[in-house]
Amino acid sequence: MKKYILILVVSLLGISLVIYYFDNEYGQGSIETTDKTPNDWFFRQRAYPFETINHHAYLAATKTAKQQRLTRSDREEVAWEFAGPTNIEGRITDIEIQGGSQNIFIGAASGGVFKKSMMGAIWEPVFDDETSLSIGDIAISSSTPEVIYIGTGEANAGGGSLAYDGTGIFKSTDSGLTWENKGLENSGSIGRMVVHPTDPDIVYVAAMGRLFADGSQGGVFKTTDGGLSWEQKLFISDSTGSIDIVIDPSNPEIIYTAMWERVRRPGRRSYGGPTSGIFKSTDGGDNWNELTNGLPSSAGDKGRIGIDISESNPNILYAVYADRIGYFQGIYKTINGGESWAHADNGVSSNVFSSFGWWFGRIKVDPVNPDISYLIALNLHKTEDGGNSWNNISGGQTHVDQHVVCINHANNNQIFLGNDGGFYSSINGGNSWNWNSNLPITQFYTCEVDEQYPERVYGGTQDNGTNRTMSGALDDWNMIYGGDGFRVLVNTENNNYVYAEYQYGGLGRSINGGGSFSGATNGVSGSDRFNWNCPLVFDPQNPQTLFFGSNKLYKSTNYAQSWNAISNDLTNGDEGGNIAYNTLTAIGVSPINQEYIYTGSDDGNVWFTDDGGENWNNISVDLPNRWVTSVVADPNDENIVFVTFSGYRWDEYLPHVFRSDNNGQNWIDISSDLPEAPVNEIIVDPDLDGYLYIATDFGVYYSENGGNNWMPAGTEIPLIVVNDIRLHNPSRKLIEATFGRGIYTLDLSVLTGFNKSVTDLSAELNCYPNPFYYQLEIEIPKGLEDKQIKVEVLNSNGQLINIIFEGVINKPLQNLTWDGFGKSGNHLSAGLYFIRLTVDDRVFIAKVVLSDS
């Protein structure tokens, strides 16, 4: 019950925020005005200064990143370790049951595809090696269940929807073990796919096209050869795509599709129009007729439409309409294959969609009983009498914002539900619900760690506020601050002081370790402009002092009790444009000289002061006019500064990482061999000269030579947007915040062969034979006799597996041996391991391979 109460509170907060954005931003009846949503923010920073992202450049960058992972050296074979949460999930866009095996597949908004057995508890990722984890739909062949199609690109068009447009259609012929791209790379986002009931090579795709571009690749597509070739079967206009599609199981030449007129640009949206409607084909998609008899006819007021067909009586279909704003228009039912329709929404509240029916707006018919249907809306509603009455069956029990219902054909009381809060199941037709808390699909914007207690990890999330774990466990994360979560900081000297944000500068301050928060914007002008994700940093020398950015820079010297502006407007000013917010996005304070401060903004400006804010100099000359994502001062040289950028190229080469050795008077491009893709954060290793770590839209990269070359950092993580990274230097742990797969950590002492106590890396540890099976000889370096040493075995995740020796070596060149056993007494499986010898202030690392014979 406590969980349900918490869900209800969070849900009501989410509802109020969404209603606030769209009722206040758009207003009653307004459809084209300034948009302020997470999706809008995500897009703006990658498009600026243009109106759209170069999709071809994005596709090229994904392929480069994937190839780099395939060709990485043994040096990078260190695995990221998942740090949670599993008890705070993210948005699910589709759920499907695989016939025969009874496996369940789910698609996540930006987390990929997972499967588990019907009775199992563990979800297994099955799509992590592909170029897009934004999932629109999953279609499984009923005649050949091992054939599965994935449509990438989420078609829900609202706040926080897709991270990127998709990269096409993927196919597996082995139940998801391997995948092959089958084209439609420019189809943008996929509403639904249907597979022919007897021929797995015939597939229909409802494509919406790219969200922030014209929809020439939207409409209905068909393949008859398993994806080798595609034909666009229905195209209406470049503003109209197909959002839903169903097939008559008794006559698969009969197809129905819902078309949706949708235009989205920065600062403008129009989610409806005269070309929205339901169309029917009786010849496999060659010809189409619009169905109108009894359906909404107002030319300009039709918005998103959801449609479904009764498998037990294919003449019966249900459709749900939203108007162009997103308000509920009605549920309609036909009993004669679409020739005529009548209202079937008696008892459904007019507020069932609130004002954002474009965010869900689907309907699901029971496969056994055509009188049972489910309305997929803010909450889930059910009819058991063919639409004569409806009941809310999810309110108070599940997260809000429903997206998919999946019904077990063998037992139609077993229902699975996917929404913005994850995966739910019911065994009694939706009368009660259970929540599965094992899916690692949370969308994080930021991450933080308690410097004194590194097991305490924090992060700001989409839809679920600011969360943390106090123990380091995967399943005990709790929300400590509401809204969408952004920057979160823990005072490095006194962890009673915790700071957290929600969107547009909603800064809070806690003096009891995050137990409660109060507003912390005293002195910050309400007339300033604020980014969706406002920058907030400590003074590295004194965490009592903080800096906060609107379009100006503010400073507090009293733990954020009050603020004073130390700059004028550090942007191009309120230009009234619709790409940049003209706000600060990054702050960098020198760890050496507190007077040296840098700022970056979303309109391409970088400023520097060397007197604590009395005077400012614009140092953006020769830098790209792109959204600045981070500005970081070198911890060992007060004259060196790094800056990173978002965005994609159009014509010219676009570097994303720069260094200056003279406080920004001149800049050096150190992007080198990185994919030409957004870089979101940079960290300079304070202990290893030349080592840099960056968060990019394709994972984390590192350089050991100041940016002359870059390598992917770590394995066991998909190609995913990493918004933020944080180094806990005492433990040499790198923490990353992914947008769709939660928080991960990486042991840098394994990746770099260096931990906090290292001062000498001149000697190497010699181990032989390598690879080995029966016994590994470990040769102790000269000069360590009479020294206290420890020799350990670590796995590829950096986890301690065994301690081989701890004590004093009494004679030179004494060899130690390891027989391949772990501390549990079991012989370990074949694979990569590390032998780590620690003595005084030195660490020696050897990489060894345990073979299986």
Distance separating alpha carbons of residues 370 and 352, to the nearest angstrom: 22
| Tens digit of each residue's pLDDT (9 = 90 or more) over 737-771 | 999 999 999 999 888 876 554 334 335 688 999 99
Residue 419: which H helix or E strand, with range? strand 415-419
Predicted pLDDT at 76: 58
Q: Mean pLDDT lowest for which of 15-19, 297-301, 824-828?
A: 15-19
Decide which of 202 and 830 is more confident.
Answer: 202
Predicted pLDDT at 15: 35
Q: What is the mean pLDDT of residues 47-64?
A: 91
What is the identity of the amino acid at 344?
A
Taking the CA atoms of 633, 636, 637 and 638 in sequence, report the sign of the dihedral they define.
positive
pTM of the model: 0.84
Predicted pLDDT at 759: 38
When pLDDT is cut at 50, 70 and 90, the band that residue 446 belongs to is very high
| Ramachandran sector of residue 757 (left: φ over 0; alpha: ψ -120 to 50; beta: rest) | alpha
Q: Concatenated DSSP letters for 620-638?
A: -TTS-SS-EEEEEE-SS-T
- What are the φ and ψ backbone dihedral angles of 538, each rounded to 5 degrees? -85, 155
Q: What is the mean pLDDT of residues 9-25?
A: 35
Predicted pLDDT at 210: 84
Question: Could you give the strand order of the β-sheet that contains 362-365, starting from the edge strand earlier in sequence?
Answer: 362-365, 373-376, 380-383, 391-392
DSSP state of 409: T
Predicted pLDDT at 796: 63
Q: Mean pLDDT lowest for which of 12-21, 41-50, 472-481?
A: 12-21
Distance separating alpha carbons of residues 286 and 65, to the nearest angstrom: 39
When pLDDT is cut at 50, 70 and 90, the band that residue 72 belongs to is confident
| Tens digit of each residue's pLDDT (9 = 90 or more) over 841-850 | 677 888 888 9
The answer for residues whose C-beta is within 8 angstroms of residue 802's C-beta and 6 or more apart is 792, 793, 818, 821, 822, 823
Examine the pLDDT at 277 and tell me if it is beyond 80.
yes
Nearest by Cα to 728 from 513, 492, 454: 454
Decide which of 717 and 217 is more confident.
Answer: 717
| Tens digit of each residue's pLDDT (9 = 90 or more) over 353-391 | 999 999 999 999 999 999 999 999 999 999 999 999 999
Decide which of 205 and 6 is more confident.
Answer: 205
Contact (Cβ atoms closer than 8 angstroms) between residue 745 and residue 735: yes
Q: What is the mean pLDDT of residues 615-641?
A: 96
Predicted pLDDT at 33: 39
Distance separating alpha carbons of residues 833 and 770, to the nearest angstrom: 11
Predicted pLDDT at 797: 56
As a whole number, the mean pLDDT across the chain is 89
The token pair at 363 is 């309907």
Examine the pLDDT at 182 and tell me if it is beyond 60.
yes
DSSP state of 757: T
Distance separating alpha carbons of residues 302 and 417, to the nearest angstrom: 27
Q: What is the mean pLDDT of residues 675-690?
A: 95
Examine the pLDDT at 687 and tell me if it is beyond 90.
no
Distance separating alpha carbons of residues 392 and 49, to the nearest angstrom: 45
Decide which of 757 and 317 is more confident.
Answer: 317
Q: What is the residue whose two structure tokens read 């407007």?
A: 569
What is the identity of the amino acid at 719?
L
Alpha helices per DSSP H over 26-49:
38-47
Nearest by Cα to 695 from 605, 632, 602: 632
Distance separating alpha carbons of residues 530 and 379, to the nearest angstrom: 32
Alpha helices per DSSP H over 702-834:
748-752
Q: What is the mean pLDDT of residues 171-186?
A: 96
Nearest by Cα to 414 from 434, 391, 399: 434
| Tens digit of each residue's pLDDT (9 = 90 or more) over 320-362 | 999 999 999 999 999 999 999 999 999 999 999 999 999 999 9
Decide which of 211 and 733 is more confident.
Answer: 733
Examine the pLDDT at 652 and tell me if it is beyond 90.
no
Distance separating alpha carbons of residues 135 and 210, to the nearest angstrom: 14
Examine the pLDDT at 32 and tell me if it is beyond 60.
no
Distance separating alpha carbons of residues 92 and 86, to the nearest angstrom: 14
Decide which of 227 and 730 is more confident.
Answer: 227
When pLDDT is cut at 50, 70 and 90, the band that residue 30 belongs to is very low
Cα distances (angstroms) measured from residue 344 to each of 226, 313, 317: 37, 17, 11
Predicted pLDDT at 441: 94
For residue 52, with 0-12 CB atoms within 10 Å meaning exposed, 13-18 middle and 19 or more buried, which class applies? middle
Predicted pLDDT at 659: 98
Predicted pLDDT at 162: 56
The token pair at 546 is 């903080």
Examine the pLDDT at 137 and tell me if it is beyond 60.
yes
Examine the pLDDT at 46 and tell me if it is beyond 80.
yes
> Could you give all domains of the chain from N- to C-terminal order, each with its CATH number?
132-436 (2.130.10.10), 521-671 (2.130.10.10), 766-850 (2.60.40.4070)
Residue 152: which H helix or E strand, with range? strand 148-152
Q: For Cα atoms 180, 52, 736, give the angle at the middle one, nearest 5 degrees.
A: 65
Distance separating alpha carbons of residues 716 and 736, to the nearest angstrom: 13
Distance separating alpha carbons of residues 330 and 61, to the nearest angstrom: 43
Q: Strands (DSSP E) along 292-389, which ranges?
A: 302-309, 317-323, 328-334, 342-343, 362-365, 373-376, 380-383
Q: Strands (DSSP E) along 540-687, which ranges?
A: 542-549, 553-556, 564-565, 584-589, 597-601, 606-609, 617-618, 628-633, 641-645, 657-660, 668-669, 679-684
Contact (Cβ atoms closer than 8 angstroms) between residue 142 and residue 195: yes
